[in-house]
Amino acid sequence: MKETIGWLRAIRLLFLLEGLPGAALFTRMPEVRQMIHVNTGTLGLVLVGASLGALVSLAVSSRLIERWGTRRLIVAGFALASGSGLIAAASLAAHLASGLFASFVLTGFFIAGADVALNLDGTVLEERLGRSVMPGLHAGYSIGTLGAVGLATLAIARHFSLVDQTVILALVVGSVPVLLRRRLPEGTGRRAQHETTHEADAFRPWHDPVVVMLGIGLLGFTLAEGASNDWLTLAVVEGHHASHAAGGVAYACLMVAMVLTRITGTRLVNRFGRVRILSVLGVLGGAGILLIASSTSVLEADIGAALWGLGIALAFPLFLSAAGESPHAARTVPFVATAGYGASLVGPPLLGFLAQGVGILRMLFLVGALVFVASYLARATKPRS
């Protein structure tokens, strides 16, 4: 049990670190756009790089886990993503949109594989401990991103270099997993050769209707989460003509709501069940997005951002937790996660081009509508008998 608790603590810390560089960068997205000299449509294409890399990674992650186990993917993924973060910093300094795109592709590839391995470890820990831990693990991710938002907002106020910020966070994220590797058990998710060849290869996730519904539902929620990362600050700054700091405050409201919801998520799920919680929160999240799109003040936008965060907070952990209940979790978890990252691939360019044509605030009406649809599909997360 002592080793299991140490494993859980290490995974919690890694979830906390995972979102640091990205959240800090997204908070300063208006500056990023100015530094690489692009419009919102082109920025959407740059942002799609992370999703492209992630989708390639997810296509092979289940095989890699079955062959090498989760520990190697986690440690290597974080370390290599640190290197791609340094490429991002250099690209910003040189005002190269193409270099930033390439760094996003690499970061998406390395972090996505590590993320799937982390989530698979989380589902295994739930089985060993006999209780839900996934919402708490993702709460750690939100706490890390919230801390990054705070640091980035402070950096804006202090006129701290975005390039220096990116370098520092990349180095931190790359070094910690190496120090924690001994707390991660060897061989998690790895299958015996005969099992991999006969049983695992015979299973096709897309032949299971429940798994397909999980993928589509998570796609809708993840599109909304990706939109919050990519476009929330721009919606406040450009849509409502507010300052860059005000955009950071709105994003902080979203992250605070996500953190609080994930901290209390385990208790809520144990009491009301996954389906009810996801459905109710999803409706609130969709309403929050529509509030931002139709608001007339920054205060209303902040309230909408908080509701947005409330609505999407538990989607990823609970959909993956449901996918992890399959006897073929090493296949179903990456499949459902791939659907979520697919939204990140399709979302940024489409939303960027749509925003370029109709405006960022009007574009958010589509995002809100998709969240309502995803809320309906949350019934697929019902525990399997």
- State pLDDT tens for residues 268-292: 988 898 999 999 999 999 999 999 9
Of 94, 136, 112, give the one whose Cα is nearest residue 52.
112
Q: Which domains does the chain have, with CATH numbers?
A: 2-381 (1.20.1250.20)
User: Which range (73-82, 192-201, 296-305) has the least confidence?
Assistant: 192-201
* Residue 96 pLDDT: 94
* Residue 44 pLDDT: 80
Residue 205: pLDDT above 80?
Answer: no
* Residue 154 pLDDT: 93
pLDDT, average across residues 8-36: 91
Residue 191: pLDDT above 70?
Answer: no
* Residue 97 pLDDT: 94
- State pLDDT tens for residues 296-322: 888 999 999 999 999 999 998 899 888
Rounded distance between C-alpha atoms, residue 198 and residue 188, angstroms: 19
pLDDT tier, 48 (very low <50, low <70, confident <90, very high otherwise):
confident
- Cβ atoms within 10 A of the Cβ of 258, count? 28
Rounded distance between C-alpha atoms, residue 109 and residue 81, angstroms: 8
Residue 264: pLDDT above 80?
Answer: yes
- How big is the chain, counted in residues? 385
Residue 385: pLDDT above 70?
Answer: no
Q: Is the pTM of this model over 0.95?
A: no
pLDDT tier, 198 (very low <50, low <70, confident <90, very high otherwise):
low
User: pLDDT > 70: what percent of the chain?
Assistant: 95
Cα–Cα separations (whole angstroms), residue 281 to 40, 309, 314, 334, 371? 30, 9, 8, 24, 10
294 versus 201: the higher-pLDDT residue is 294
Residue 370: pLDDT above 70?
Answer: yes
* Residue 67 pLDDT: 84
Cβ contacts of residue 228 below 8 Å, gap of 6+? 251, 254, 305, 308, 309, 312
